[in-house]
Amino acid sequence: MLQDIDTINRVNKYLRRFRAKTKINEYVLRNYIRLYYIHAAQDVSCQTQQYLESALKLVINTEERNQIFNYILGFELIKIVFTMSWLQHERLARLQTNQESFINTYIKPIQYAHQVNGIIVPKDKGVFFAKRDYYVQIPEISPKKLVELVRETFPAKKVNKCGFIITRHIKALRFDFDYIFQQQEQEGIFPGEFESILN
């Protein structure tokens, strides 16, 4: 697979577009191949023999290699979304052509995983004037936990599909890093010139 330089360069280009810290090299590729087949085996409860057959197909089959690269892209993007605040989720969703589908497919499962795992706990969600600190809270997740969360939240097929969408068309998944990750501004009820009156 490492001989497929064009594909590796293309995947690295997408990863740079998302400003992912991962860059495809032999070590990363081996880890992702292992992770992909373990993840896929969990989804379909396949036997060890099927796992080995799939691993052997990877050496020969171009389509299987493309699935690995799609899996890497999808996994890396989902990892990025897992580490976003809910406000950043909203900004990312606003960029998508089909917002409702994107929210239901990726954002809602991630936010649910945040809550179930105690990463972000919405307090006073039903109180209208409550301060919504949880909405702008950046999740703190260790790299190991992040991999576990992605595997537990999304089946391998869904991770693959996410990567496939990215490679299918450059604009299929819109990602404007500067817009999504812009600094939170303190939004008050009154404009800046009135702040001194309230203090």
Task: Give CA–CA dist 113/141, Å, rounded.
Answer: 12
**Three-state DSSP class for 44?**
helix
CA distances from 196 to 85, 116, 186, 191 (A): 30, 41, 15, 10
| Helices 143-153 & 62-82 angle (0-180, nearest 10) | 110
CB 95 within 8 A of CB 176: yes
Q: Which of 28, 23, 21 is nearest to 10 (CA)?
A: 23
Q: Which of 22, 21, 25 is nearest to 8 (CA)?
A: 25
State the distance between the two ends of the chain, measured CA to CA, in whole angstroms. 63
Confidence at residue 31, expressed as pLDDT on a 0 to 100 scale: 87
Task: Give CA–CA dist 171/157, Å, rounded.
Answer: 21
Confidence at residue 107, expressed as pLDDT on a 0 to 100 scale: 96
- Matching residue, tokens 């050496």: 59
- Matching residue, tokens 């693959």: 160
pTM above 0.85, yes or no: no
Would you give per-residue pLDDT tens digits along the chain (199 residues)?
A: 556 677 788 888 888 889 988 988 888 888 888 888 888 877 655 554 555 555 555 555 677 778 888 999 999 999 999 999 999 999 999 999 999 999 999 999 999 999 999 998 887 766 666 567 778 889 999 999 999 999 999 999 999 999 999 888 777 899 999 999 987 654 444 344 434 333 3
CA-CA-CA-CA dihedral for 109, 111, 116, 117, to nearest 10: 110
**CA neighbours closer than 13 Å in the CB half-sphere of residue 141:** 26
